């Protein structure tokens, strides 16, 4: 970033011709009006109250000096006016209000903000863009009920040959940062010129360099106007940093690091965690913070614990509305946790649910804490005074909403068809695949894990196929499988040595009938082979007797626990959150904010680095909520790393994923180019609609900007961006042959479509159903505490006498269940400031100055509206049994729009929660 200081020695660096300007006018306040969109987001419309601010350009004659210092009389200049829009905090304490008064005083005397206007044209003397500068004076905002949106004016005198403005440089002379929404320049021939910002402007006390804000015009690197070339390069350099030192809160440095910040070796050696990222444990890279190493392990970064924030580049942090929503969610989670903690305090130990009515109480009655119990909890749990006050008045918060999965039918979770339906329309519909051959084989080393053949035999399956042979079923593509065997078996021994954890590696085979129904027919549960027991694989079917039925229920519960862990650690965290982070870092480091690809991707990067940093701090860290609540425990992130070994960018595209899993085949005659083998597959059917809309929008956008045959390969920023994603962001995958090439417009469109789908539709489909499906713990336990009793086990007699008790005691405890329910509730919540796919935030309405692009975006938005109507019609189609029927909740996770809260629908632009 360029240094901008109001000193004569620097003036020649930026200025074109030095001007002798008349005294500047004081700022004239603007009227700010608000309306609310259907999504409850503020729409800001600036209504200029003085016609002089937008009148036709004025010209006058001023003396002007040439490059030799000689005075040229009668040079033509014009007066232009800048409208500066600032967003203040919505909630201010007394100190902040006093500071704001002082800032207004400083602005009133011209000591608050310096603005330099840079032309797209080169000054022949300085060889830089022509420039003029001024100070914002007289910030006198008109009082308004919405005082957090303020607009101020300042005037420039510019020569008539100045050319078109292409950038502004902002220097903040205040002692603290402020949030700049945009700057609009009035007075040039082409009408208002917009400089969208939506950025924090740091204080000159923190960094003397000025901020560069470019106008809303997209330029490929080769098309950059001469006056902006240096600024474009300098702005990118300022975002990359030098890879050294600890990052400071005001900085905007994007850099890479390994996951070496999850453990707490200085606090407890049992909380030490291995580094993820490298040959031994490959992983995507995260945003570097530069914190010093821990005292006991130089490979691990020292941690910052909440409430202290983890560094993310300044503009990546949550905005105030999002902060409030997330804080409220965290508060709610803490309150929910007190439900089982109350029971734990009274009984001196964490307890199981003893009957299903105990679970129902979480939704129907809630828990009321007496005053003495509140005090005891406060003393035992070190709850602060604020939390104690909330407890004294907030008893209603200790009550859960009824999850969607049991809202219509509280017994639906018991049925086999619901178990199967959730593999296609649940929160994790991305693992089911076709059975391509028999017997089912493991790819693990047989010397370590035993014979590769599954214990599920042809004879066993054919007993469930009512006369059809296995070969015939495979030929007709009617056998499907959820196969977590190879992913989990290497971890099972270590997982089962953890207290209160008992797991199997599972395989579940389904049959797809001619009536269009998917049914589970066999479950295989495997343990690592041991020298003391030759039997390590157990097969269950739904059977016909009472004992078999209960064993089948317990086997399904173990499958659900495995599915929950794979969903959270692999499909949700790894494939969306973690894999998107390098794309975002590389985009900021290598693509100028003027680059059309940057402008396309920018909405899809919002809040992701911040939510990922919070996850490393509180969710996926050693001893965090994920370890405490899911089967893999302390090995959770190692399992995620093992899954990354088979990750491929080219298979993250939805059509490629469906084809690879064998659940779809290419069919050019269909609208999306694919035919689903299971027609009633809600995730895939709706997902292909969203994918196709994104693809069409991206292809038209790329075609618009890359008009020449070699324009993709000659784009130096774009090529550096893709190279950095592969070689640094996904460093451990850098030599893989499957990375797409980036030589054609088609290559670029495919890459961008995959990224946008991952950040929007894919994340929405596997995130916002967490509480609707997982909020009822028996439907989707996140861990199991007991193995299924065998006839030779002492526990088997207890199982025969009271199978319900053994079943419930195998599920998570009350503490574990309510903790994960609280987290799932928070993670399933849309913020009021959510930005949804195809909907433009009106605060950023001037993101690009290109009517053709805006027309294409409107077409994309219209297409998404049509898709929403199509999905709603599908949900009313009685032929589609996986989304319609008695007690069946409609499949709405890929409906594009939503309101705030836990809605079970809505596709945000970005991974924001």
Q: Which residues are marked as active site?
A: 572, 577, 763, 767, 913
Task: Collect all residues with Cβ–Cβ distance below 8 Å to 634 and sequence separation of at least 6.
Answer: 270, 273, 498, 622, 627
Q: What is the DSSP string of 825-879?
A: HHHTPBPTT--BTT---GGGTTS---HHHHHHHHHHHHHHHHHHHHHHHHTT-TT
Element (H, E) at 61: strand 58-65
The DSSP bridge pattern shows strands 674-676 and 664-666 to be antiparallel
d(Cα 830, Cα 835) in Å, to the nearest integer? Answer: 10
As to burial, measured by CB atoms within 10 angstroms (0-12 exposed, 13-18 middle, 19+ buried), residue 36 is exposed
108-128 b/e with 16+ CB inside 10 Å = b? bebebbbbbbbbbbbbeebeb
The DSSP bridge pattern shows strands 674-676 and 193-201 to be unpaired
d(Cα 823, Cα 334) in Å, to the nearest integer? Answer: 9
* Token couple for 688: 């292909």
* Token couple for 758: 């991952």
d(Cα 32, Cα 433) in Å, to the nearest integer? Answer: 55
CB 117 within 8 A of CB 136: no
Residue (of 590, 575, 603, 899) closest to 767 by Cα position = 575
* Residue 440: CB atoms within 10 Å: 21
d(Cα 824, Cα 818) in Å, to the nearest integer? Answer: 10
Task: Collect all residues with Cβ–Cβ distance below 8 Å to 737 and sequence separation of at least 6.
Answer: none
Start-to-end Cα distance in the chain = 31
Residue (of 701, 755, 757, 697) closest to 730 by Cα position = 755
d(Cα 500, Cα 727) in Å, to the nearest integer? Answer: 41
Q: DSSP secondary-structure letter at 3?
A: B
Q: Helix, strand, or coil here: 456?
A: coil
The DSSP bridge pattern shows strands 211-214 and 129-135 to be unpaired
């Amino acid at each position: 970033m360029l240094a901008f200081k109001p000193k004569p020695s620097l003036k020649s660096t930026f200025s074109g011709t030095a001007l002798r300007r008349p005294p500047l006018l004081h700022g004239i306040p603007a009227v700010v009006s608000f309306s609310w969109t259907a999504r409850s987001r503020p729409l800001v419309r600036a209504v200029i109250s003085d016609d002089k601010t937008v009148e036709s350009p004025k010209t006058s004659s001023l003396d002007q000096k040439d490059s030799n210092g000689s005075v040229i009389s009668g040079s033509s200049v014009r007066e232009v006016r800048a409208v500066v829009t600032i967003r203040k905090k919505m909630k201010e304490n007394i100190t902040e209000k006093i500071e704001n008064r002082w800032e207004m005083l400083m602005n009133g005397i011209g000591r608050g903000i310096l603005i330099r206007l840079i032309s797209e044209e080169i000054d022949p003397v300085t060889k830089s863009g022509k420039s003029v500068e001024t100070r914002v004076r007289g910030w006198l905002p008109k009082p308004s009920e919405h005082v957090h949106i303020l607009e101020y004016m300042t005037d420039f005198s510019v020569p008539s040959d100045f050319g078109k403005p292409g950038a502004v440089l902002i220097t903040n002379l205040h002692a603290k940062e402020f949030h700049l929404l945009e700057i609009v320049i009035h007075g040039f021939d082409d009408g208002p010129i917009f400089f969208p910002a939506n950025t924090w402007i740091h204080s000159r006390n923190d960094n003397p360099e000025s901020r560069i804000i470019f106008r809303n015009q997209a330029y490929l690197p080769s098309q950059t106007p001469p006056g902006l070339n240096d600024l474009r390069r300098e702005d990118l350099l300022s975002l990359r940093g030098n890879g050294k030192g600890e990052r400071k809160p005001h900085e905007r440095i994007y850099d890479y690091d390994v996951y070496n910040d999850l453990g707490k070796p200085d606090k407890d050696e049992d909380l030490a965690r291995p580094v993820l990222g490298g040959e031994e444990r490959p992983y995507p890279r995260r945003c570097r913070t530069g914190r010093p190493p821990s005292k006991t392990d130089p490979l691990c970064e020292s941690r910052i614990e909440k409430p202290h924030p983890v560094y993310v580049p300044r503009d990546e942090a949550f905005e105030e509305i999002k902060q409030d929503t997330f804080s409220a969610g965290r508060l709610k989670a803490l309150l929910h946790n007190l439900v089982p903690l109350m029971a734990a305090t009274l009984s001196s130990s964490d307890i199981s649910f003893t009957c299903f009515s105990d679970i129902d109480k979480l939704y129907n009655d809630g828990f009321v804490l007496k005053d003495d119990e509140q005090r005891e909890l406060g003393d035992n749990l070190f709850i602060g005074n604020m939390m104690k006050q909330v407890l004294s008045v907030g008893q209603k918060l200790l009550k859960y909403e009824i999850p969607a999965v049991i809202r219509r039918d509280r017994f639906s979770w018991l049925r086999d068809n619901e178990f199967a339906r959730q593999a296609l329309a649940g929160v994790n519909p991305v693992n089911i695949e076709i059975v391509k051959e028999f017997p089912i084989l493991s790819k693990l080393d047989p010397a370590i894990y035993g014979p590769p053949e599954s214990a599920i035999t042809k004879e066993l399956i054919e007993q469930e196929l009512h006369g059809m042979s296995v070969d015939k079923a495979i030929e007709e593509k009617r056998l499907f499988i959820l196969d977590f065997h190879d992913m989990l078996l290497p971890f099972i021994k270590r997982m089962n040595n953890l207290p209160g954890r008992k797991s199997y590696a599972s395989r579940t085979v389904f049959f797809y009938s001619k009536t269009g129904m998917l049914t589970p027919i066999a479950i295989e549960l495997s343990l690592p082979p041991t020298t003391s027991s030759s039997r390590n694989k157990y097969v269950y079917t739904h059977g016909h007797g009472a004992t078999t039925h209960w064993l089948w229920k317990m086997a399904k519960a173990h499958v659900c626990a495995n599915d929950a862990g794979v969903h959270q650690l692999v499909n949700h965290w790894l494939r969306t959150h973690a894999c998107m982070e390098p794309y975002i870092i590389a985009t900021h480091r290598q693509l100028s904010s003027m680059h059309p690809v940057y402008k396309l991707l920018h909405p899809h990067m919002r809040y992701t680095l911040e939510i990922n940093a919070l996850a490393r701090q509180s969710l996926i860290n050693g001893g965090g909520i994920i370890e405490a609540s899911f089967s893999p425990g302390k090995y959770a992130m190692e399992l995620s790393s093992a899954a990354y070994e088979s990750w491929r960018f080219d298979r993250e595209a939805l059509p490629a994923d469906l084809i690879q899993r064998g659940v779809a085949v290419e069919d050019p005659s269909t609208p999306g180019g694919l035919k689903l083998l299971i027609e009633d597959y809600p995730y895939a059917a709706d997902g292909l609609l969203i994918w196709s809309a994104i693809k069409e929008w991206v292809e038209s956008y790329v075609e618009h900007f890359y008009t020449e045959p070699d324009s993709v390969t000659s784009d130096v920023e774009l090529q550096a961006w893709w190279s950095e994603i592969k070689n640094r962001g996904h460093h451990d995958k850098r030599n893989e042959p499957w990375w797409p090439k980036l030589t054609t417009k088609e290559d670029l469109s495919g890459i961008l479509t995959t990224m946008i789908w991952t950040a929007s539709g894919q994340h929405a489909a596997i995130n916002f159903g967490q509480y609707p499906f997982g909020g009822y713990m028996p439907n989707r336990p996140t861990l199991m505490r007991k193995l299924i009793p065998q006839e030779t086990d002492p526990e088997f007699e207890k199982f025969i006498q009271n199978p319900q008790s053994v079943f419930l005691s195998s599920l998570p405890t009350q503490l574990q269940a309510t903790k994960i329910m609280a987290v799932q509730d928070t993670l399933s919540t849309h913020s009021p400031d959510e930005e949804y796919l195809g909907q433009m935030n009106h605060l950023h309405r001037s993101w690009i100055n290109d009517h053709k692009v805006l027309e294409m975006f409107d077409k994309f938005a219209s297409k998404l509206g049509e898709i929403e109507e199509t999905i709603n019609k599908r949900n009313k189609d009685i032929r589609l049994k996986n989304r319609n029927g008695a007690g069946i909740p409609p499949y709405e996770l890929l409906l594009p729009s939503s309101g705030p809260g836990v809605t079970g629908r809505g596709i945000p632009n970005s991974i924001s929660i």
